[in-house]
Amino acid sequence: MTQGLFSTVSEEYYQNYTKIGFIERNDNLGEKIFYQFLFILFIIISVTSLTLFYKLRNVYIIHHRNFILTFIGGIVTCLNVIIGLLPQLFLTHCLLNVFQANILNTIVILIFISRSLRVILYYQYNIYKVTSIKKTLSRRPNKSIEPNFYLPKILKKINKIITLFITIPTLLAFIATLIIYICVPTIKEECPITGREDALIKIKNNDGKELFYVVMFYSGLYMIFCIIISIALFYVKDVNKYGVKFECLTISILIVIFNIINILLQKGASSGGFFTQNGRHFKIYLLLFEKTKGGKILFTFLSMYMFIVSITLPVIQYYLIKRKKNNTFQDSTNSIQYFYKVLNTPFLVNELRDIAIKEFSVENILFWENYQILQTMVYRYSIEYNKAKEKGDIGLVSQFDFESFFQKQLISFSSSSMENYSYEPNMPIPKEIMPYYTSFYYMFIDINGPAVVNLTNNTYKSIVKNMSICPTVGMYDDAKNEIVEIMFSSIFPILLRKNKKHMPGN
């Protein structure tokens, strides 16, 4: 046997190699200490990150990532890493390793793929909201406006599809594993229910390899999905350099790369593998196979990365943003009053809309734009009412073409009239402009609306009550204040970071 890494080894060397594990060896103390340190460090980071992530669940940077799906993914990924590191610390049960590979790993990857699909679909969904609402509002409103149920149904279907996408393959993986364990005669001897063994020896000898056919089959599917996701993500725009797109894209690429490496290692180090010379194994494959624990430690490191970028990184980003905000709290551009100035600047509203699309919250800026138009309609009505009153015939106000005026506002958004106009919010909505208020309600307030905004329960109930009893021109004012607050804390900091030198007053 030669000594070079790229040389082949004798059959005797290979047979001895298959009998050497990791736990009971005495010449790998440094590697054992490394894994012990890594295990303790990850426990500390994961518990801290999950606690803070849950504590900050209502914060925008966490909320818009879909807290429930991401948090569950974080817990399962954390458990996957812990079980993946255990064979480097203790003798383990074979079935624990099978559970980690076939079940936990399946859940982790499926949740990741679901989150990636959500990013892609919600990005397109927010773009569609803009065009859909413009088309809907461009039609002449009437007193019996039918709400648009199409988009909300898509949203509900997305959530149901994600749920089924995660649960069904996981259930199939469990059933397949159970069937293999019961039906294959040699499995119970190679992977007994009781007793603990060195996992590396089991991997080197392919003991119970039939049990891992499940994860092998799913790995091929993962690679296909991740290649498709990687391509689709290139068409998604993200305002944050290390945001959701970065997370999903890098993980997709790593899954494909690590699966390819794992396939090469399995074929190069296993008995009868493809990458041999005259039936002899190359030493480089055996060494890499041992260092990566049969390729499994690669996926443990991948799970660690997935946890860091999905749970830890958003928490860090939140506190960095908060710290920066606290350091510049005296800056006038960080005030809500200044933000209203921004909202009254049409080209900056366009910038905010682009940001909101990328942040999956475009309904908020659309709410603001159409709220402005409603107030302009009220302002116009007051002008026409005063003209008719001066002529001694209030009925003349109905002769004004409010529809043409409304369509003009849609085409060229302008908020200048809002800056110098005050109105009585408790004034009943005139019948001439009531259809526009009704259209607004079904668009942004009704729970089945195509661009329903996230309001507090009290505000929502107040609007519903007002709408059914005595609609007033100020019925959406509280909702407007809430939406402005949401935009101020979510998309406005991004606008400041990107365009501060172009802001009013600078």
CA distance 258 to 264: 10
Contact 101, 296 (CB under 8 A): yes
The pLDDT assigned to 315 comes to: 93
Strand partners, 472: 428
Name the E strands within 63-153: none
Is there a contact between 85 and 303 (Cβ–Cβ < 8 Å)?
A: no
Q: Do residues 311 and 301 lie in contact, with contact meaning Cβ atoms separated by under 8 Å?
A: no
Exposure string over 473-495, b if 16+ CB within 10 A, otherwise e:
bbbbebbbebbbebbbbbbbbbb
The pLDDT value recorded for residue 149 is 44
Per-residue pLDDT, 147? 37
Please answer whether residues 236 and 119 qualify as being in contact, where contact means their C-beta atoms are separated by less than 8 angstroms: yes
Residue ranges in the chain whose pLDDT is less than 70? 1-3, 132, 134-156, 271-276, 325-332, 411-422, 499-506
Nearest to 245 by CA among 235, 233, 231: 233
Residue 164, both tokens? 């089924």
What's the pLDDT score for residue 39?
Answer: 97
Question: What per-residue confidence (pLDDT) applies to 112?
Answer: 93
CB 203 within 8 A of CB 293: yes
Cα–Cα distance measured from residue 180 to residue 55, given in angstroms and rounded to the nearest whole number: 42
Share of the chain above pLDDT 90, in %: 35
Q: What is the pLDDT of residue 327?
A: 61
Q: Note the pLDDT of residue 136.
A: 64
Task: Could you list the beta-strand ranges (E) of 189-282.
Answer: 276-277, 280-281
Break the chain into its structural domains and give their ranges: 11-116+171-326, 328-502
pLDDT in the model for residue 499: 67
Distance CA 244, CA 237 (A): 10
Instruction: Indicate yes or no: pTM above 0.85.
Output: no
pLDDT of residue 341: 86
Q: Distance between the two ends of the chain, CA-based, in angstroms? A: 74
CA-to-CA distance for 502 and 142, rounded, in angstroms? 41
CATH class of residue range 328-502: mainly alpha
- At 276 the three-state DSSP class reads strand
